[in-house]
Amino acid sequence: MYLFATKNYKEYIDEVIYVGDNANRIYDEKFKKEFINHLKYIYSKNNVNINIDEIYKRLKKDYTDTDLKFALNINAKFYTPEDLFLNIKNHISTDFLFNPNYFNKELDDQQNINKKNNYFYEMCMKDYHCENEENNNINTNNNIISKNKYTIDDKYIPPNDKQKLVILMGPPGCGKTFLCTNYFSTYIRINMEEYKTISKCIQALKEKLIQHKNVIIDNVNSLIKNRLLYINEAKKINQNIEIRLIYFKYSKELIIHLNTFKLITDKTNKFNDVPTIAIHSFYKYVQEPSKDENVDHIIVLKDENFVPTKFQSEEQKKLFFMYLN
């Protein structure tokens, strides 16, 4: 292209700037400075007015932040094209709605971890007693919630003979099933994945309550009308049943992060990617719980109650505290 231009268009072209072989040298400070100065000389010679302020006003806003997050993940300095080539400072903020390092700031302090773990346990298991409070180990395979003082081998015994119904409420992938397995292992778990329809879930609930079992409902349960179906049926069978609602009120950004992390680290190929639209739908239509629903306790879990511990490897731990979305 350079030879063609110089041979055929000499009378029309004052100067050809050839960067073909030098394109890969744009990060060379000396080359970049000389190249830009050369451009300025050509512009001035041909009366071309370059107004940086006007260019800045016409710049289209870039709504994607993946490049910036990638730079933050690898601890690299980040430049926009305008910053690099035109010396226009974009003043890009790194104050994102969700920062995974928020959960890492106290992770090295074991005392704080234990405090948060036990606080989480006390919130979920308030007034529920254990036969054994000596064991301090727990297997937390999905790295979502851990407890320090209590174990999955403990037998949860109500302080009285009241029958118990626990209704979980939260978006897909927030840790509801993990809570069932590790905190309510002696309860009968009922969920849509197994029973397919809400009517079959209701039928299973009635059967188990008639058998004097304690039951936990592991569904999204975002709507009041769905929660009332379980509550009303339970009250018909046992007017004195104690009903507890545990609401995973985590931020949408945390839920998306958790699902991405699970998908990346799943070695069993058993984890199904949760469609983002399902997560957005939960937050759009969710109806906040209240005591008007005839429940005895409402436990609300927020981001500050979340403790990511017991990672399977240091690599996995490092990955969790990176931007994944």
- Kind and range of the H or E run holding 207: helix 198-210
Q: Burial-class residue 14 by CB neighbours within 10 Å (0-12, 13-18, 19+).
A: exposed
56, part of any domain: no
- Tell me how far apart the alpha carbons of residues 208 and 84 are, in angstroms, rounded to a whole number: 66
Q: Are residues 130 and 27 in the same domain?
A: no
- 176-183 and 110-124 are packed helices; what angle lies between their axes, rounded to 10 degrees? 90
237, part of any domain: yes
Across 209-241, b (16+ Cβ under 10 Å) vs e yields beeeebbbbbbbbbebebbebbbebbeebeeeb
- Tell me how far apart the alpha carbons of residues 307 and 18 are, in angstroms, rounded to a whole number: 57
Whether the predicted pLDDT of 137 surpasses 60: no
57, part of any domain: no
Q: Are residues 219 and 289 in the same domain?
A: yes
Q: Are residues 22 and 154 in the same domain?
A: no
Query: 153-210, pLDDT tens digit by residue?
Result: 343 444 456 899 999 999 999 999 989 988 899 999 999 999 999 999 999 999 999 9
Whether the predicted pLDDT of 211 surpasses 60: yes
Q: Are residues 161 and 294 in the same domain?
A: yes
Overall average pLDDT of the 96-113 stretch: 75
**Mean pLDDT of all residues belonging to the chain:** 78
70, part of any domain: no
Q: What is the pLDDT of residue 278?
A: 94
Query: 227-286, pLDDT tens digit by residue?
Result: 999 999 999 999 999 999 999 999 999 999 999 999 899 888 777 788 999 999 999 999
Pick the more confident residue, 107 or 140: 107
Q: Are residues 281 and 135 in the same domain?
A: yes
Q: What is the pLDDT of residue 183?
A: 85
Overall average pLDDT of the 102-128 stretch: 66
- With H, G, I as helix, E, B as strand and everything else as coil, classify residue 300: strand
Q: Are residues 17 and 163 in the same domain?
A: no
Overall average pLDDT of the 117-134 stretch: 56
Residue 272: which CATH number?
A: 3.40.50.300
> How crowded is residue 24: how many other Cβ atoms within 10 Å of its Cβ?
8
- Tell me how far apart the alpha carbons of residues 255 and 239 are, in angstroms, rounded to a whole number: 36
Q: Tell me the percentage of the chain whose pLDDT exceeds 90.
A: 44
Q: Are residues 156 and 264 in the same domain?
A: yes
79, part of any domain: no
Domain termination residue (choose one: 31, 50, 69):
50
Look at residues 87, 126, 107 and name the one whose alpha carbon lies nearest to residue 297: 126
- Tell me how far apart the alpha carbons of residues 118 and 133 are, in angstroms, rounded to a whole number: 12
279, part of any domain: yes
Show the DSSP H helices in 156-197 as ranges: 176-183, 192-195
- Tell me how far apart the alpha carbons of residues 294 and 250 are, in angstroms, rounded to a whole number: 24
Overall average pLDDT of the 119-127 stretch: 66
Q: What is the pLDDT of residue 128?
A: 55
Label residue 90 by pLDDT band (50, 70, 90).
Answer: confident
Q: Are residues 163 and 299 in the same domain?
A: yes
- φ/ψ (deg, to 5) at 80: -90, 160
Query: 263-272, pLDDT tens digit by residue?
Result: 899 888 777 7
Look at residues 172, 211, 169 and name the one whose alpha carbon lies nearest to residue 188: 211
Domain that holds residue 43: 2-50
What's the total number of domains in the chain? 2
69, part of any domain: no
- With H, G, I as helix, E, B as strand and everything else as coil, classify residue 34: helix
- With H, G, I as helix, E, B as strand and everything else as coil, classify residue 232: helix
Q: Are residues 23 and 152 in the same domain?
A: no
Q: Are residues 217 and 146 in the same domain?
A: yes
Pick the more confident residue, 23 or 67: 67
Q: Are residues 34 and 116 in the same domain?
A: no
For the full predicted model, state whether its pTM sits above 0.75: no
Whether the predicted pLDDT of 20 surpasses 70: no
Q: What is the pLDDT of residue 230?
A: 98
CB–CB of 115/297 below 8 Å? no
Q: Are residues 45 and 136 in the same domain?
A: no
Least confident of 46-60, 124-138, 190-204: 124-138
Q: What is the pLDDT of residue 141?
A: 36
217, part of any domain: yes
